[in-house]
Amino acid sequence: MSYLLHLDSSSIGTASVSRQVADSFRDAWTGEVVYRDLAASPVPHLSAAGVAAQRTDPAQHTAEQAAAAAVQNELVEEFLGASAYLFTVPMYNRMMPSVFKAWLDQVIIPGRTIIPSGEAPSTGRPAVLISARGGGYGPGTPNHGKDFLVPALESVLGDTDYLGLDVTTLTADLTMAPRVPALAHLIPVHETSLAHAHEQARVHAEKISQHIAA
């Protein structure tokens, strides 16, 4: 258990602000990285065979269940083998990209990655969640209370009855300000938010990599 697992989910490649902030994290990271681009190589959505495979003795798996279990095993072993996590998850339509939700559904397995009334094997491991969004969602903004990405992921990734990770969230807000004339007056707010996200990404990368190496 000695690597950073980095999951990307933005659909727009190098133009993605969340990916750019993640690059600042990666530039400051000093250890090994296992990288998975969920947009370029999506994992399958959880199927009936996948659910059944979790509840059936492997010796009794059908061919379809065995194939679904193989996908789950690969993803779960990769997840549990990491010491730290970097999740790059932009906001799409106030929610997470479906490719990231598909990954979550494949790795969250009761009795394996989450332990009812117990401690998940990943409990306490550091994770950084980087998100970018076209508008602003903080107090006083028109969209306040309409962020259905960060609260959901902080709960699933961080709650002790789920994956139990020690999650730090960094957001770059108002990414549409430079492109939408009606939002042009908010460009300075966007630039401040983006600069802070880049700076904190570097800070957390250095802090976490040093802690793991110690």
Tell me how far the alpha carbon of residue 165 is from its chain's centroid.
Answer: 11
Sign of CA dihedral 207, 156, 16, 187: negative
Closest to 109 measured CA to CA, from 146, 130, 80: 80
Closest to 153 measured CA to CA, from 198, 108, 200, 206: 108
Structural domain harbouring 180: 3-213
* Number of domains present in the structure of the chain: 1
The mean pLDDT value for 86-111 works out to 97
72 pLDDT above the threshold of 80: yes
The single-letter code of the amino acid at 175 is T
Closest to 54 measured CA to CA, from 107, 103, 99: 107
88 pLDDT above the threshold of 70: yes
Per-residue model confidence as pLDDT tens digits over 124-148: 999 999 999 999 998 989 999 999 9
Q: At 214, is the pLDDT very low, low, confident or very high (cuts 50, 70, 90)? A: confident
Q: At 213, is the pLDDT very low, low, confident or very high (cuts 50, 70, 90)? A: confident
- Residue 127's pLDDT is what? 98
- Residue 1's pLDDT is what? 54
The mean pLDDT value for 188-208 works out to 97
Contact in structure between 150 and 169 (CB atoms under 8 Å): yes
CATH number, domain at 60? 3.40.50.360
Tell me what the pLDDT averaged over the chain comes to: 96
In this prediction the pTM is 0.95
Longest Cα separation, the chain: 63
- Residue 117's pLDDT is what? 78
- Residue 107's pLDDT is what? 98
